[in-house]
Amino acid sequence: MAAQVKIMKLGPIQTNCYLVSDEKGCMVVDPADNAPAILAELDGRKLDLIVLTHRHWDHLQGAADLMAASGAPIAIGEFDADAACTPGATGGQSWGVSTSVPRVDRRLEDGEIVEVGAMRFTVLNTPGHTVGSICLYEPTEKILLSGDTLFAAGVGRTDLETGSKHALVESIKTKLAPLPDDVTVYPGHEATSTVGAERSCNSMMRRP
């Protein structure tokens, strides 16, 4: 069975939560809220891993409950790991939200391989939206889980804590722009896209 990507829009700002699975394994990326709904969607399948693309509250509100219910470990980019465990560093203050994860089980490094079933996702460090933002790329299945680094016809904001426009530009041009046109982009918010579509309409994706 080829990889399947199920999109759930969760939380007050409609964050994309992804259930990525094949016949051998399953992971949840950015459990934004409502762990019971995610568990219901899993429909009894064993959850192997919970991955956070970055530290922000709207991408991790459901992580603690999902971990407690499933026993699945939590993984996040190494440079956002400590912040994800610190309520004051997850950026929810302006929304009246104080949330974090109880622990990080796996600190993901650039180039590391995340294996889920037969899928092998390469970790791409893509600082800019936050210092520890990551994307996950599966070349065989042509999947890019881009978090808040790259959107359809847009990019992540850089005016939040640890954000950097210069870093974001470098991340996109060096890590994402070289990917094949037919890779599907699954962003942290709004609609999916492809690398080719972004190359044609998104100035950040045009390689120097």
- CA nearest neighbour of 146 among 114, 170, 123: 123
Whole-number pLDDT of residue 93 = 86
- Any idea what DSSP says for residue 13? T
- CA nearest neighbour of 83 among 111, 51, 60, 109: 60
Residue 69 CA to residue 72 CA, distance in Å, equals 8
Whole-number pLDDT of residue 1 = 64
Query: C-alpha distances in angstroms, 36 versus 65, 68, 107, 124, 184?
Result: 8, 11, 26, 30, 28
Whole-number pLDDT of residue 10 = 97
Q: Whole-prediction pTM value? A: 0.96
pLDDT tens, N- to C-terminus, the chain (208 residues): 689 999 999 999 999 999 999 999 999 999 999 999 999 999 999 999 999 999 999 999 999 999 999 999 999 999 999 999 999 999 998 888 999 999 999 999 999 999 999 999 999 999 999 999 999 999 999 999 999 999 999 999 999 999 999 999 999 999 999 999 999 999 999 999 999 999 999 988 876 5
Count of structural domains, the chain: 1
What is the span of the domain harbouring residue 112?
4-205
Whole-number pLDDT of residue 207 = 62
Whole-number pLDDT of residue 80 = 98
Residue 188 CA to residue 11 CA, distance in Å, equals 12
* Residue with tokens 């005016």, as numbered in its chain: 159
Answer yes or no: are the C-beta atoms of 47 and 19 closer than 8 Å: no
Q: In what order do the strands lie in the sheet with 119-125?
A: 113-116, 119-125, 134-138, 143-147, 184-187, 193-194
CATH of the domain at 57: 3.60.15.10
Whole-number pLDDT of residue 206 = 75
Report CA dihedral (38, 44, 46, 47) to the nearest 10 degrees.
0
Residue 186 CA to residue 18 CA, distance in Å, equals 8
Which structure tokens are listed for 115? 């294996």
Q: How many CB atoms neighbour CB 173 within 10 A?
A: 15
Residues 106, 109, 113, 116, CA torsion sign: positive
Which structure tokens are listed for 26? 């399953």
Whole-number pLDDT of residue 204 = 85
